[in-house]
């Protein structure tokens, strides 16, 4: 499995507040399934970072687009394959 770092920059603060409970439920489910080993928000309020495990970029993007934040336009996303030195 590969790792992907996904940044979720703020697009719409009102929508972000509205969809936060759904987003957290989604991320916690993905974490329980082992797909998201790490996640958290930036303390400056400018979004967050999620680490996904996926076979390839296409699968990672599929996961990201299921996030209610992204699906409802509250957050954008920037995704990068991450070659980490130590397995999570």
Domain around 19? 2-82
Note the pLDDT tens digit of each residue in 40-68: 988 987 778 999 999 999 999 999 999 99
For residue 64, with 0-12 CB atoms within 10 Å meaning exposed, 13-18 middle and 19 or more buried, which class applies? buried
**Residue 21 maps to a domain:** yes
**Residue 87 maps to a domain:** no
Q: How many domains does the structure of the chain reveal?
A: 1
**Residue 88 maps to a domain:** no
pTM recorded for the entire structure: 0.90
Rounded alpha-carbon distances, angstroms, from residue 41 to 2, 32, 67:
22, 18, 14
Are 38 and 51 spatial neighbours (Cβ–Cβ below 8 Å)?
A: yes
**Residue 68 maps to a domain:** yes
Q: In this structure, what CATH number is given to the domain that contains residue 71?
A: 3.30.70.1060
**Residue 71 maps to a domain:** yes
């Amino acid at each position: 499995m590969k790792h992907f770092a996904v940044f979720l920059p703020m697009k719409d603060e009102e929508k972000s507040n509205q969809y936060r409970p759904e987003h957290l439920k989604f991320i916690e489910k993905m974490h329980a399934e082992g797909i998201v080993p790490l996640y958290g928000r930036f303390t400056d309020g400018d979004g967050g970072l999620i680490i996904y495990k996926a076979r390839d970029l296409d699968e990672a993007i599929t996961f990201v687009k299921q996030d209610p934040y992204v699906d409802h336009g509250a957050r954008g996303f920037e995704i990068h394959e991450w070659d980490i030195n130590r397995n999570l």
